[in-house]
Amino acid sequence: MSIVEQDVEMVAAEEEVDETAKNALEADALVLADLKQNFALLERAVATIESRFITRVLRTIASIRKRLNANVLSQAIQLAFPRDSPDRSKLLDYLGKESGVMEVDSEEDTREQAPILPEIDIYLNLMVMIYLLDKQELEKGVQLANETTSRLQTFSRRTLDQLSARIYFYYARFYEILGKLAEIRPILLAAQRTATLRHDDDCQATLLNLLLRNYFHYNLYDQADKLVSKATFPETAGNNQQARYMYYLGRIKAIQLDYTASHNHLLQAMRKAPQNTITAGFQQAVYKLSIIVQLLMGEIPERSIFRQPVLRKPLIPYLHIVQAVRVGDLSNFQEALAKYSDVFRADKTFTLILRLRHNVIKAGIRMISLSYSRIHLRDICLKLHLDSEEDAEYIVAKAIRDGVIDATIDHENGYMKSKVSETGVFSIKKAQRLTKPMVKMPTPVQFQENVDIYSTNEPQVAFHQRISFCLNLHNESVKAMRFPLNAHRKELASADALRERERELVKEIAEGEMDEDDDVADF
């Protein structure tokens, strides 16, 4: 390689560095512009008392968060706070910047001597907290979070609600990472009470979820259950909080063996959660739990769940469990349990999976009763890897009582006799025809599938469920409609003008389309 070439390369590299530096500067300017716009939005929100603008501000957090750095933040802080404000230097301290660094902006500062809006103040606090969290400066973060939350409690402004919900979220997050969640429980509880009194739905929802998470962290399901039964979750809360709440409810119900309720809650959690890769963690957690709950209910989860790209890998241990339960193979089940026990423990599903053991046995008994018209208890014992013949007898008796199988036991001769073959003089072929579709049934543990479902009340119940869902949906959507205040008067006056404008618009669109067509035709 010649020297010239090397030089060229070095120059190129330098240029690259320049380029990145320039890009970084530009990016900083963009972030600053975004932050400034958010300040404007917050001011507008306060002026008009409209929470919509704040929602817009909060929506940008994710995108700003990725591009955030100390420089931009300190610039924004200097812009927003009046010069002599103590909060200003405090926030800058947290960023590791000295308050006098950006003297360039001093002229601008003098202009803004007006006291800062609490909303903007809290917003900046929030951004600094997020920044500290991303930079893993936890001690500082906790300190700031403490100060901010204690300040929040002195305010009573409705426009702050959404912001303070976020503040509490990160407050709890800091404590969780530091493993000190138990300390903040009284503060969260107090804040929850205040939020309830003020009908502050956002804070209420967030705090309730934080409390539940807090309890779950220490496995205090008892307290969590009591909290849920005492506190009402606001209906108007955002979807994300609702999804979380549903997941927590599902967990509590699963622990308490109320699997049907648990499954319903988990289904809602799945549907409410946004379906993208960012929420992969939440989705995985929900699906893991819901698979186990479904198994405990005696259903087999759909195979397609395990094929979804976000779920495929983390669900592999659960797939093994499902397969073992489906076939009713106890030794397979124990193997999977032993192999992945660490995973299950980490997921906190271990105790739930331990409960599955008898479902495996039930599935096994059911398979046997479908395939054999008469089988010796000893053979059942061997097939299911049970410990003794007596065990087998009791287990089969219980399965009969619970309606898992339709059979009788002949104690004197020691065999189990399925009722299907007993009814008759069936030829073997006929019996096969009867049992075959049953073996193919996707859900092996199901009760008496031979009954004609339309002779029961099942369809009625199912229809009722759907009808009430639809009616509910209609009512909810009616409630959710928004009408601008007094707007209809103006509209009445300008209705004609509006219609005129619409007509023009339609015309324009039609023409525009034709133009496009022309353009295409030209080429």
Partner 1 sequence: MSATLQQTSRLYSELQNEFYSSNPDLNRCGQYLATLKVMLSKISLLLPEGEINNAEALLIGRNILEIGALWSVATKDIPSFERYIAQLHTYYTDYGSLLPQSQQMYPLIGLNLLRLLSQNRIAEFHTALENIEPEQLLDNAYVKHPVHLEQYLMEGSYNKVWNSRAEIPAPQYAFFIDILMETIRNEIASCSEKAYTCLPLADAATLLFFDNRQDVMTFAMERGWQVDTDGKIYFATKNDNMVEIPSTSIIKHTLYYARELEQIV
* Min separation Cβ 332 and partner 1, Å: 16
* 16 exposure class (CB count in 10 Å sphere: 0-12, 13-18, 19+): exposed
Choice between 142 and 395, CB closer to partner 1 = 395
The reply to whether 378 sits near partner 1 by the rule CB under 8 A is no
The reply to whether 297 sits near partner 1 by the rule CB under 8 A is no
* Min separation Cβ 218 and partner 1, Å: 8
Q: Which of 456, 490, 498, 511 binds partner 1 (CB under 8 A)?
A: 456
The reply to whether 218 sits near partner 1 by the rule CB under 8 A is yes
The reply to whether 189 sits near partner 1 by the rule CB under 8 A is no
Query: Residues 54, 159: contact at Cβ < 8 Å?
Result: yes
CA-CA distance, 476 to 177, in Å (whole number)?
38
- Scanning the structure block, which residue is given the tokens 């049953």? 438
CA-CA distance, 393 to 376, in Å (whole number)?
10
* Min separation Cβ 423 and partner 1, Å: 15
* Min separation Cβ 323 and partner 1, Å: 20
The reply to whether 358 sits near partner 1 by the rule CB under 8 A is yes
Q: Which of 64, 70, 177, 220 binds partner 1 (CB under 8 A)?
A: 220
Choice between 155 and 218, CB closer to partner 1 = 218
- In this structure, the dihedral spanned by the alpha carbons of residues 268, 269, 274 and 278, taken in order and rounded to 10 degrees, is -160
- Percent helix, strand and coil across the chain, each rounded to 5? 75, 0, 25
Query: Residues 419, 448: contact at Cβ < 8 Å?
Result: no
DSSP for 254-286 reads HHTT-HHHHHHHHHHHHHHS--SGGGHHHHHHH
* 148 exposure class (CB count in 10 Å sphere: 0-12, 13-18, 19+): buried
CA-CA distance, 298 to 286, in Å (whole number)?
18
Q: What does the per-residue mask of binding to partner 1 show for 412-451, with x meaning CB under 8 A?
A: x---------------------------------------
How many residues in the shown chain lie near partner 1 by CB under 8 A?
48
The reply to whether 12 sits near partner 1 by the rule CB under 8 A is no
Helix ranges, 178-258 (H): 185-197, 201-217, 221-230, 239-255
Q: What does the per-residue mask of binding to partner 1 show for 250-289, with x meaning CB under 8 A?
A: -----xxxx-------------------------------
* 391 exposure class (CB count in 10 Å sphere: 0-12, 13-18, 19+): middle
CA-CA distance, 231 to 241, in Å (whole number)?
15
* Min separation Cβ 330 and partner 1, Å: 10
The pairing of strands 374-376 and 415-418 is antiparallel
Q: By CB under 8 A, which span of 187-195, 312-320, 398-406, 488-496 interacts with partner 1?
A: 398-406
Q: Which of 66, 401, 479, 489 binds partner 1 (CB under 8 A)?
A: 401
The reply to whether 474 sits near partner 1 by the rule CB under 8 A is yes
Q: Which of 49, 471, 473, 498 binds partner 1 (CB under 8 A)?
A: 471
Residues 42-101 close enough to bind partner 1 by CB under 8 A: none
Choice between 91 and 405, CB closer to partner 1 = 405
Which residues contribute to the site for partner 1 (CB under 8 A)?
A: 218-222, 225, 255-258, 345, 350-351, 354-355, 357-358, 361, 386-388, 390-391, 393-401, 407-412, 455-457, 460, 464, 467-468, 471, 474-475
